[in-house]
Amino acid sequence: MKTLFILFVVLAMLSGCQPAPKVSEFAVHYEQPRTLKPFVLEDQHGQQVTTEQLTGQWSLLFLGYTHCPDICPMTLAKLTNIAAKLESVQAVNVWFVAVDPQRDTQEKRKQYIDYFNPRFVAASAPHNVLFPFVRDIGLIYAINNSDELEYYVDHSASIALVNPKAQLEAIFKPEFKAGEVPVINAEQLIDDFKVIVSKYQ
């Protein structure tokens, strides 16, 4: 009788427990975040940006280029909205990593990012510096027909999340819908971000 009573109490306790929150299928959350390798990029003001600018705060990093016809402006508009909505929860630092250094000069990056949010960082560097950094944050890009004046740059539409220890914490993936440009779902990213921050030690 006593055994049955104990079992009943345990089952009652378990039934009242809520499962730990999980991220959605659009987020890859690393159980063991990876510390980023040292890097030196240049922002839109001509100042160096390094790992130091990623420490002490949460950061969202997105690849793009100023001649991008669709994914970049759409994603930056969403990131502007995301940063505003997260302000009261957990402020985030947003980096636009320009992967077309040939055309994306400091002045052009500043003009471009100021249109969306002048507080965002618009960083770039020569390819020999840029490519290893991009690979380190779990993303990728490639130049198409670089010998021509007009060309496209293939790049990840995902967004990297770096934690306050300058470690790659997660990757937020875009939605792929038939006939539509692959971009992130802002509300889903916010929900996943909150889950990740709640688990962060």
**CB neighbours (10 Å) of residue 34?**
13
CA distance to 57, 79, 162, per residue, from 86 (Å): 13, 10, 15
Alpha carbons 9 and 38: distance in angstroms, whole number: 53
Residues 31 and 194: beta-carbon distance below 8 Å = no
68 in a known ligand binding site: yes
Taking the CA atoms of residue 179, residue 120, residue 53 and residue 50 in that order, the dihedral angle to the nearest 10 degrees is: 70
17 is in an annotated binding site: no
The response to whether 155 counts as a known ligand-binding position is: yes
Binding residue positions for Cu cation: 68, 72, 155
The annotation places the binding site at 68, 72, 155
